[in-house]
Amino acid sequence: MSDQSGQVCPWCQTEIVWDPEIGPEETCPHCFNELGEYRSIRLEIGKSGQKDGRDEDYEEEEDEEDYFDEDLETDSLDAYEEGAQRVLDTQEEAPECPSCRSFMLLAGTQSAAPSFVPFVHETVKEPIVKADYSAQVYVCPSCFRVETILSEKDRLSMMEPLKRS
């Protein structure tokens, strides 16, 4: 059995540490995506002058464009990650994504839907969240999950009836 202590999830980029008695993980314990060969490809990138792993019978035409510019994509991804980090540095609050554990970016504010009807608990005798509440909308820069969190003003107003009950 190969040493899997340095395994990294290809989906959320989290290192996976597993117990040698149980064996390797079949799914990532962080993002729950499947690990292994399913939906995964392996690319071998060698230095110039080395075999690149392609079939020798396949001859690439010299005038054919290279459809994958690795440097351009890496630079673009680095710029994206740096931009996301600059935004995170300015945020007062950055919740963790429940899927991949990356910090989420504040995308905006959302008002309650007109169809929202607050529930009145018997013990509190009034709604814990008002009909005109607002929520902050966060988006994950890694997996693009969207989450909403009650605004700070509405969190504070929610605490008052609960304290009185």
Per-position DSSP letters for 3-37, written without gaps between them = --TTEE-TTT--EE---TTT-S-SB-TTT--B-SS
User: Of 2-11, 43-52, 78-87, 107-116, where does mean pLDDT reach its minimum?
Assistant: 43-52
pLDDT tens for each residue of 36-88: 665 555 566 665 555 555 545 444 444 444 544 555 567 778 888 999 999 99
Non-local CB neighbours of 95 within 8 Å, separated by 6+ positions: 103, 104, 138, 147, 149
Q: Report d(CA 145, CA 148) in Å as an integer.
A: 10
Asked whether the whole model's pTM tops 0.75, one would answer: no
* Residue 6 pLDDT: 62
Per-residue confidence band for 98, with pLDDT thresholds at 50, 70 and 90:
very high
